[in-house]
Structure 1
Amino acid sequence: MSKANDLIAEYRSTGTLGLLPAGHFIDGAFSQPAHNRTMESFDPGSATPFARFTAGTKEDIDQAVASSRRAFDTVWRDTAPVERSRILQRASALILENLDLLAVVETLDSGKALQEAMGDVRGAARAFEYYAGACDKLQGDSFPLGPDYVGYTIHEPVGVTAHIIPWNFPISTAARGFAPALAAGCTIVAKPAEQTPFTALLLADLLFKAGLPEGVCNVVTGTGAETGAPLTAHPDVDHITFTGSVQTGRTVMKAAAEDITRVVLELGGKSPVVVLADCDREQAVSGVLGAIYENAGQICSAGSRLVIEKSIHDDFVAELVARTKALKLGHGLGNPDVGPVNSSEHLGKINGFLDRARADGSDIVTGGSVTEDPATGCGWFFEPTIVDAVSADNELAREEIFGPVLTVQIADDADHALALANDCQYGLVAGIYTSDFAKAHRLARGIDAGQIYINEYFAGGIEVPFGGNKKSGFGREKGLEGLVSYCKTKSIAARIG
């Protein structure tokens, strides 16, 4: 933490950091395009700008895609898997060596608490470590065609991959896409969110320092309209990995359809946490709190709906309210319990949900209002909020708020809880708290979601495939399935007799 403390002191003294990258990262170097257009990046904890970054154009995207195409065709797809593994291992080590810098920058850009950002950086290092171990184990199958034939499959890298990175988990999302793409032999053009550009740039530089050839990983910053749209519509992109809203996901799919480009979409969520009467009460209360208030609820897989059995509802919600009221808000660099939300625009969106809830007479049992850092009177903060006894047709139970707002739905029993859990347009994840493992696994099979947590929300790690059903998207990231997402399977059958 000594390096982190020095960086925090520098920021508090100067209002910025001297180590922030400038320009796009293309062909193994930072470069400022001739147009020299820039944008401000804001610190959500103070609601003030702390740096500027390059506002890219379609021409910058064209340059980055051409660079990645050259690198794919001439170098990376034919690099031996064991050498790709060594580079990814070195990248993992370099990420950990730069833990403090990456975490402080992530906190300033996104607003999240520093300890959460440090966890994200460690997770990014682990992603590269995991896929480094998979590079030389990406094996095909053989087919039993009889004595006169031989048949087998091989996995080939899909080619140039586009990565649209969201603002809520910038380095985590970048790493979980970059690492398997590189392991498979693909090249990368990434467009980080305009709110959080810096850690993707720093990560690309670390990958180059780890031995990645020029052009294998390029990062272009800017707005979605001026850089994201040209990237997803580019005819020389072979695959798109997108994380973001359903509305933007539809736009990405339409752009990809023009050239029949492959896509993996990780979209929104309204994930239920099912708490049954026989649960471990402390375990469940702590799990529900973490599921909704980590990163101020700005998580696609946040447990934003508590579906609780009626017989324990009153005492359980009373305990939740008491512990929610005790949570401390503050600037991310001060390691609060709950940090700010990412932008003024997003704060207004969250507040709109609660204004409508008040007008509808909803039971807001704690929170429900815009607030500020109690230490400074600044920043984009929303009170940790619980809305009780919400009906299944209420927008609070159906729409993704993407903030520190927990909706409570009351179930008569486990079967009713299952029905409530599935009564949703999303199907990303779900949590279950019960001491009856048979009941837990019956619910896990019955809930329509891509990933289920039992007795620990956010259980698992890079080893566990992640992705959604219904309007939460399709395709899987993480795990070995995430590696196969960046491959084309080729079948070969030969007559030998």
Structure 2
Amino acid sequence: MATEYANYINGEWVESATGASFAVTNPASVDEIVSYHPASTKADVEDAVDASVAAQDEWAHTPGPSRGSVLRETGELLAARKGEATETLVREEGKTRSEAAGEVQRAIDIFHYYAEKCRDLGGTVKPASASEMDLYTKREPLGTVALITPWNYPIAIPAWKLAPALAAGNTVVLKPASEAPNASRILLECLDEAGLPKGVANLVTGSGSEVGAPLTESDDIDGLSFTGSTGVGTAVAQTAAEDLTRVQCEMGGKNPTIVMPSADIEQAAELVGAGAFGTTGQSCTATSRAIVHESVYDEFVDAITGYAESLEVGPGLEDPDVGPHVSDSELASTLEYVTIGQDEGATLETGGIRLTGNDYERGNYVPPTVFVDVKNDMRIAQEEIFGPVLAVIEARDFEDAISTANDVDFGLAASIVTQNLSEANRFVDEIDAGVAKVNDKTTGLELHVPFGGYKGSSTNTYREQGDAGLDFFSSIKTVYKSY
């Protein structure tokens, strides 16, 4: 029997105002219900926002080191529940066990990192132009912030928004994606057990229209951090801007890896393959395009095809190389793009079918898929495909490769595989992406440096993670003190 969970509002676990709920299913076995969660409404959002507003002053005036103690204890409690959280994530999102365990560990590390940053939240001191005057800055929290998070990293992304928001002294209302809300529920349980005061963090589950929209439109929300699709993020940013609410949106990507003649082609195939097919391609930083110099194109196609066909696909709990899509709709979208690619004239080299039979019959499975003979004006080279689909594009030279890499509406992550120092340095200077990597895959991020994109990948306001995460959730007050 699947467990029915509640919202977390003002330090209590409560049903939605209507009592309605929705089911979360296992993408590896879609007829298995993992859990039920409140199908919340505007009334529930208002209760959560009211609780957050009421708790603002006390939390804002809690000393930074004391806030850090709560975050540190939260990390410890999550570490003690790592096995449970890992299995929960696998069963609701579909990641492989290894991928899920890595994501849970990242969430633990994030809470520990921002726990320590709480001791270093001071401002700066500057020399004043006049004598007998002190001139300095101090950080202050925004107030109450709304966090809207996606299903593809259901514990890491809530963690990297929650932790800096709380560290900076804000109160929070979190709306997780309906496909995978359990990981956020575990985070709130850990925060509660760690002693977070009532009302400081609140969790409300439900649809974007019933929960996300009221959060975006609320006059009591002082900052809004969103991760999700470019279309929804743009609408969120536009709505928030009407009230001059501070907003931060990280959105889609169409991430390239450039492969140059000096590259070790087997290594290049492994880097591209790991970036394209890891997490079932369901990552905003996933490698979606391999832009390959013409002199090594055929060799690379053979290598990446072999790599793709060597990967094991299966239920995440069995820890294969590639798990299922999170939902029927995501599976259908990927298969639709396979058809589009073929209709556009690209060659389907491997994959591109729904797997059936045995363990596959009840799940949302597509094997790693490689298209070749792709032109950069094709839809499969321009539009984000949230699945394990790679488009391989031929480039004449370095300049052509860079031009092709930049010729999209996104600019999140990009990489190059080369042993030529000049090419590496030019790539870093010329690529239009917020994350640039040399001899590495496009996926994988350090938690203590800024993360964000250019163009349609971001609102280009504030970055996430590291000190940049604290910058978004803080206001800077400049103090002139004459004595």
Instruction: Give 4+ residue runs of structure 1 displaced > 6 Å after superposition.
Output: none
Task: Write out per-residue CA displacement over residues 326-365 of structure 1, whole angstroms, 9 at most, x where no aligned residue.
Answer: 2111111111111111111111111111112222221111
CA contact (8 A) 1:372 1:380 kept: no
Name the aligned partner's letter for residue 92 of structure 1: G
Task: Write out per-residue CA displacement over residues 206-235 of structure 1, whole angstroms, 9 at most, x where no aligned residue.
Answer: 011112111111000011111111111111
Name the aligned partner's letter for residue 470 of structure 1: K
Among 388, 394, 398, the residue aligned to 2:378: 394
CA contact (8 A) 1:124 1:175 kept: yes
Q: Which residue in 1 is equivalent to 2:84?
A: 101
CA contact (8 A) 1:330 1:374 kept: no
Tell whether 2:252 aligns with 1:268.
yes
Name the aligned partner's letter for residue 309 of structure 2: K
Range with bigger deviation, 84-93 or 45-54: 45-54
Q: Which residue in 1 is equivalent to 2:68?
A: 85
Q: Which residue in 1 is equivalent to 2:316?
A: 332
Task: Write out per-residue CA displacement over residues 294-324 of structure 1, whole angstroms, 9 at most, x where no aligned residue.
Answer: 1110100111111111111111110110121
Q: Which residue in 2 is equivalent to 1:384?
A: 368
CA contact (8 A) 2:254 2:287 kept: yes
Residue aligned with 1:370, SS:
coil
Residue aligned with 1:174, SS:
helix
CA contact (8 A) 2:269 2:307 kept: no
CA contact (8 A) 2:340 2:380 kept: no
Measure, in 2, the Cα distance between the counterparts of 1:21 and 1:411. 53
Task: Write out per-residue CA displacement over residues 170-218 of structure 1, whole angstroms, 9 at most, x where no aligned residue.
Answer: 1011001001111111111000111111111111110111121111110
Measure, in 2, the Cα distance between the counterparts of 1:155 and 1:51. 41
CA contact (8 A) 1:292 1:405 kept: yes
Measure, in 2, the Cα distance between the counterparts of 1:172 and 1:385. 27
Residue aligned with 1:64, SS:
helix
Q: Can you give the 5+ residue segments of structure 2 that lack an aligned partner in the other structure?
A: none
Tell whether 2:464 aligns with 1:477.
yes
Superposed CA RMSD in Å reads 1.4
Name the aligned partner's letter for residue 478 of structure 1: Q
Report the TM-score when normalising by structure 1. 0.93
Among 443, 461, 464, the residue aligned to 2:446: 461
Q: Which residue in 1 is equivalent to 2:43?
A: 59
Task: Write out per-residue CA displacement over residues 69-106 of structure 1, whole angstroms, 9 at most, x where no aligned residue.
Answer: 11112x21011011111111111111111001111111
Residue aligned with 2:276, SS:
helix
The CA deviation at 1:451 is: 0.9
Measure, in 1, the Cα distance between the counterparts of 2:357 and 2:381. 28
Range with bigger deviation, 449-458 or 97-106: 449-458
The CA deviation at 1:460 is: 4.3
CA contact (8 A) 1:23 1:30 kept: yes
Range with bigger deviation, 455-464 or 122-131: 455-464
Q: Which residue in 2 is equivalent to 1:357?
A: 341
Residue aligned with 1:382, SS:
coil
Measure, in 2, the Cα distance between the counterparts of 1:102 and 1:68. 26
Tell whether 2:205 aligns with 1:196.
no
Measure, in 2, the Cα distance between the counterparts of 1:411 and 1:259. 46
The CA deviation at 1:254 is: 2.3
CA contact (8 A) 1:158 1:487 kept: yes
Name the aligned partner's letter for residue 267 of structure 1: M
Task: Write out per-residue CA displacement over residues 143-174 of structure 1, whole angstroms, 9 at most, x where no aligned residue.
Answer: 33234232111111111111101011110110
Q: Which residue in 2 is equivalent to 1:213?
A: 197
Tell whether 2:478 aligns with 1:494.
no
Name the aligned partner's letter for residue 110 of structure 2: A
CA contact (8 A) 1:21 1:198 kept: no
Name the aligned partner's letter for residue 124 of structure 2: D
Range with bigger deviation, 364-373 or 57-66: 364-373
- Alignment size in residue pairs: 478
Residue aligned with 1:381, SS:
coil
CA contact (8 A) 2:250 2:457 kept: yes
Measure, in 2, the Cα distance between the counterparts of 1:70 and 1:494. 31
Residue aligned with 1:166, SS:
coil
Tell whether 2:23 aligns with 1:36.
no
CA change 1:376–1:426 in 2 (3 A) is: closer
Range with bigger deviation, 59-68 or 276-285: 276-285
Percent pairwise identity: 37
The CA deviation at 1:376 is: 4.8
CA contact (8 A) 1:71 1:215 kept: yes
Residue aligned with 2:401, SS:
helix
Name the aligned partner's letter for residue 447 of structure 2: I
Tell whether 2:134 aligns with 1:150.
yes
Residue aligned with 2:113, SS:
helix
CA contact (8 A) 2:344 2:378 kept: no
Among 299, 305, 318, the residue aligned to 1:315: 299
CA contact (8 A) 2:17 2:40 kept: no
Tell whether 2:421 aligns with 1:413.
no
CA contact (8 A) 2:410 2:454 kept: yes
Tell whether 2:415 aligns with 1:431.
yes
CA change 1:373–1:86 in 2 (3 A) is: farther
CA change 1:212–1:143 in 2 (3 A) is: same
CA change 1:306–1:268 in 2 (3 A) is: same
CA change 1:459–1:190 in 2 (3 A) is: closer
